[in-house]
Amino acid sequence: MNLARVLHSIDRSFAEYVDDLTALVRAPSISTGAHDPQAAAAGIQQAAALLVAQLERGGLQARQIQLGPERNPLVLAELPAPDPARPTVLYYGHYDVQGVDNPLSAWSYDPFSGECRDGYVLGRGASDDKGQLLTHVVAWSAFLAAGGQPPVNPVFLLEGEEECGSAAVRQFLAAGELRRYAPFLAVVVSDSSMFGPDQPSLTIGLRGIVFTELAITGPRQDLHSGLAGGIVPNPNNLLVRALASLIDERGRVRLPGFYDEILPVRQTERGAYAALAVDEEAFRRDLGAPCLQREPGCTLLEQRWVRPTLDIHFLEGGSPRTVIPATCRAALSCRLVPAQNPEVILAALQRQLQQHLPPGYHMTFDQIHTCRPYYLAPDHPLVAPAMQALRTGFGVEPVVSREGGSIPIVLDLAAATQAPVLLLGFGQVTDNWHGPNERFAVRDFHRGIRTAAALVEQLAQYPPQRPAPASSSSERRRRAGSSG
Amino acid sequence: MNLARVLHSIDRSFAEYVDDLTALVRAPSISTGAHDPQAAAAGIQQAAALLVAQLERGGLQARQIQLGPERNPLVLAELPAPDPARPTVLYYGHYDVQGVDNPLSAWSYDPFSGECRDGYVLGRGASDDKGQLLTHVVAWSAFLAAGGQPPVNPVFLLEGEEECGSAAVRQFLAAGELRRYAPFLAVVVSDSSMFGPDQPSLTIGLRGIVFTELAITGPRQDLHSGLAGGIVPNPNNLLVRALASLIDERGRVRLPGFYDEILPVRQTERGAYAALAVDEEAFRRDLGAPCLQREPGCTLLEQRWVRPTLDIHFLEGGSPRTVIPATCRAALSCRLVPAQNPEVILAALQRQLQQHLPPGYHMTFDQIHTCRPYYLAPDHPLVAPAMQALRTGFGVEPVVSREGGSIPIVLDLAAATQAPVLLLGFGQVTDNWHGPNERFAVRDFHRGIRTAAALVEQLAQYPPQRPAPASSSSERRRRAGSSG
């Protein structure tokens, strides 16, 4: 393979790739928080069909997998004739997007027009995750078009439910559907942010999460606070007391044992993070935050990457007149770091919140999801080739970093493949994920594609071919037989 | 005057009075929380016009007073030829009602159909306050129709903004418009509840109130909690901490000095309240509350009547996904008892809430209204005649009671008239004021009218005529001159 030729072809055809991305952004593939569920369902179908077409055009065999009427389709793609002697690299991404009513009036452009203006592809999903997943699709297209001999067998697994719990892909993994592609060299996921506008990074850590909605039900109906105030426990008051019991005045989480399982961060890693230049004022301004906070002894980066959180996302109860509401609701999450256990913390949360209820009042929990934190040691043998790919793609020295967010499926993919996950984020923290005015820099899209192509070459060199373990090789034989 | 004849005529014509009330309920005179402001504005006009017609039909001179385009009309009525030698009794009531979206689907009947079924007039405003204010209109109609010589000069002042701050009537009072009717013997207000279904009562105390909405503004827009969690202070977290700082785990209010100004309740009054039979379990069931609470050493009645509260009526912030919201809101109130000062408590509330904000975060307060508590000593000379009227109207022994609610205008009326306010509540605590399924018992409407008629007779006997003070009598002469 001649990487220079592949990169040259990428540069030459880049305008087409931007068109591919804008076409994908125009599909309103909302999987959560859609005001028009029918339009969102059609958007899901449209995005999945587009991806299949783009993958096929790139020389891969692609198909939709529909795992039941309630599920959004998975898109699965592989080489027409994979070499059973080579390991698999699994590429994961998601084509579904968050809703846009946050509020819609706060958007300064149509979230689904797929406009490309002033160096940005504008719209919901441009960065999270359509633009990022497309870098690898495009890189493999360019690699195959250049007549390169695949050093690994790429398998694309693209889902439409990342923003709402990844049910289909979890079902797919739980059914063991990936086993026939074993052994896996790596999983590649581009669904995160690089360290800075011109600072590419390999993300070696993700925070985990425990998320829950909760509701308190009290009186049968709203009551007049003149008649009932003081004698009927007020669900809003109870909710506020219960939630406030979870955090202290400095923002620390007040749950028994919450901080006990946190692993100390290696001194070398802390040193690497300390060396990263952070213009805190610019960062604050870009976020639009009035101020930033951190725990004593923490840098801003450490606070975001290696410290846990508790955020109340949602509050809803009563009405702005003198009522005692019948019910009220909230949603909250904790971001978790190695080695906090989300199940243990969920149980502690529920136990502590419920302590605030008087007799006959009920608290229910709903929409629970949990995810462990992810961590790849910086001395893992695949870190160096991934860094080299970034170096080639961006033309600058990359760094290792972590990410404050969670990608629940990463943990499932790691478990299903028994392989390390390379998190190559091409987004920016200012891309406005989940909020109004999401966007993706055309330049980042370009450099991401180049990085993805360079990664293919790196994987050709590393590691030296190794024989598949016995159980996996028998799996592989079955697959070769059925497809041959 | 022959009371028996008046009562007989009331009984005979009662069906017509029910028709008057159902006609009034059918006017959707919402002054706050209307989903269809145009229909509500039309309902206000319709209710005011109906009242003028009903007052005129009863032999009084009535008119609407429009104090500006934003204001709902006042309805003012008096005798065609008042006797300047007699004192005035001011009757106050309100024809506006609360909204019905609480939610509308929770109503089991149309809130504005004015249906009369199973012994109840059904609908928003039936009890609060259309049915109650009408008792006095009807009683004076019956009194005048019977050819009685008025022992006092009745003046009706009925407003259309009680549920949203009473702006017009406050403006009317501030302009000194009531002065020409001085001196006042009493103010009569029926806008509260009687002690129990068959237990009429004179309300000698009302809780005051301090109400405010508040909003916290933080980041410019909603942020992804993975990117910003832990480093950007979360407005929802701040709100919850700030609000929770106002109440302890037993529900007591944690504001400096909050309990310091509370006057002890006289032992005789506590004894009277302790003697009142309260079926707590039935009361709880009627309210639809899972349980009831009280402070140590308090009876349930004392908790509701002579103890202050803090209720969070409204919470709103973010959305049920992993965001840090840009802003969040709440509404809360304290019910106050003698001699707590709402202005002092408002300032303490604001000060304490604002302490929870980090730099650059703002908290704004809106929709503030305050009202002092009201108290009429049980040995005041007008208490006995009011009790006698209740005795006659209901045929059972009445009691003195207090009310947990607030009627802000009562304090203004007391100040403007320099007269005691007689609070004769004919509603029931189970009439569902402000919530879905408001209703007014036909029987209570009937007994209320009889009480109102008996009160006219009582006022004829008490107190002995007294000369008007100098300033007031010159006012009175001017009025006589201009109207004559």
In the predicted structure, residue A90 carries a pLDDT above the cut 90? yes
Interface check for A352 against chain B (CB to CB < 8 A): the answer is no
pLDDT for the residue numbered B478: 36
pLDDT for the residue numbered A1: 54
CB contact (8 A) between residue B222 and residue A102: yes
Q: What is the CA radius of gyration of chain B?
A: 24
Neighbouring residues of A244: CB distance < 8 A, sequence distance ≥ 6:
B240, B241, B243, B244, B245
- Nearest partner of A78 among A153, A138, A135, judged by Cα: A153
Mutate to test the interface with A, among B194, B217, B225 (most CBs of A within 10 A): B225
Chain B neighbors of A252, CB-CB under 8 A: none
DSSP secondary structure string, B45-69?
A: HHHHHHHHHHHHHTT-EEEEE--ST
Neighbouring residues of B418: CB distance < 8 A, sequence distance ≥ 6:
B182, B183, B184
- Quick: pLDDT tens for A108-124: 999 999 999 999 999 99
Mutate to test the interface with A, among B247, B314, B328, B438 (most CBs of A within 10 A): B314
- Quick: pLDDT tens for B423-468: 999 999 889 988 899 999 999 999 999 999 999 999 877 654 444 4
- Mean pLDDT, residues B199-218 taken together: 96
Interface check for A361 against chain B (CB to CB < 8 A): the answer is yes
Structural domain spans, chain A: 3-206+373-483, 208-262+308-371
Q: Which CATH number fits domain A208-262+308-371: 3.40.50.150, 3.20.20.80, 3.30.70.360, 3.30.70.260?
A: 3.30.70.360
pLDDT for the residue numbered B280: 93
Top mean-pLDDT range of A79-93, A272-286, A402-416 = A79-93
Interface check for B223 against chain A (CB to CB < 8 A): the answer is yes
Name the residue of chain B whose CA is nearest to A358's CA: B291
CB contact (8 A) between residue B319 and residue A223: no
- Mean pLDDT, residues A121-146 taken together: 97
In the predicted structure, residue A468 carries a pLDDT above the cut 80? no
- Mean pLDDT, residues A50-66 taken together: 98
Alpha carbon distance B133, B426 (integer Å): 10
**Sign of dihedral through CA atoms B100, B105, B108, B113?**
positive
- Mean pLDDT, residues A277-284 taken together: 90
For the whole prediction, is pTM greater than 0.95? no
The structural architecture, per CATH, of the domain B3-206+374-483 is 3-Layer(aba) Sandwich (3.40)
pLDDT for the residue numbered B484: 27
Name the residue of chain A whose CA is nearest to B430's CA: A227
- Quick: pLDDT tens for B363-421: 999 999 999 999 999 989 999 999 999 999 999 999 999 989 888 889 999 999 999 99
Alpha carbon distance A484, A33 (integer Å): 44
CB contact (8 A) between residue B405 and residue A224: yes
Distance from CA of B287 to the nearest CA of A (A): 7
Distance from CA of A23 to the nearest CA of B (A): 25
Interface check for A233 against chain B (CB to CB < 8 A): the answer is yes
Alpha carbon distance A457, A143 (integer Å): 9
DSSP secondary structure string, A249-299?
A: TTS-B-STTTTTTPPPPPHHHHHHHHHS---HHHHHHHHT-S-----TT--
Number of continuous H segments (helices) and E segments (strands) in chain B: 15, 20
Higher per-residue confidence, B473 vs B61: B61
Instruction: Tell me what the pLDDT averaged over chain B comes to.
Output: 92
Chain B neighbors of A314, CB-CB under 8 A: 236, 317-321, 325
In the predicted structure, residue B224 carries a pLDDT above the cut 80? yes
pLDDT for the residue numbered B407: 84
pLDDT for the residue numbered B302: 95
In the predicted structure, residue A312 carries a pLDDT above the cut 60? yes
Which of A 34-73 lie inside 8 A of B, CB atoms?
Answer: none
pLDDT for the residue numbered A463: 55
Backbone angles phi, psi at A75, to 5 degrees: -110, 120
ipTM of the complex: 0.80
Please tell us whether the domain made up of A3-206+373-483 is placed in CATH 3.40.630.10: yes
Binning pLDDT at 50, 70 and 90, where does residue B267 land? very high
- Quick: pLDDT tens for B277-335: 889 999 899 889 999 999 999 999 999 999 999 999 999 999 998 999 999 999 999 99
Interface check for B322 against chain A (CB to CB < 8 A): the answer is yes
- Quick: pLDDT tens for A122-133: 999 999 999 999
pLDDT for the residue numbered B110: 96
- Quick: pLDDT tens for A177-214: 999 999 999 999 999 889 988 999 999 999 999 999 99
pLDDT for the residue numbered B470: 41
Q: What is the CA radius of gyration of chain A?
A: 24
Interface check for B209 against chain A (CB to CB < 8 A): the answer is yes
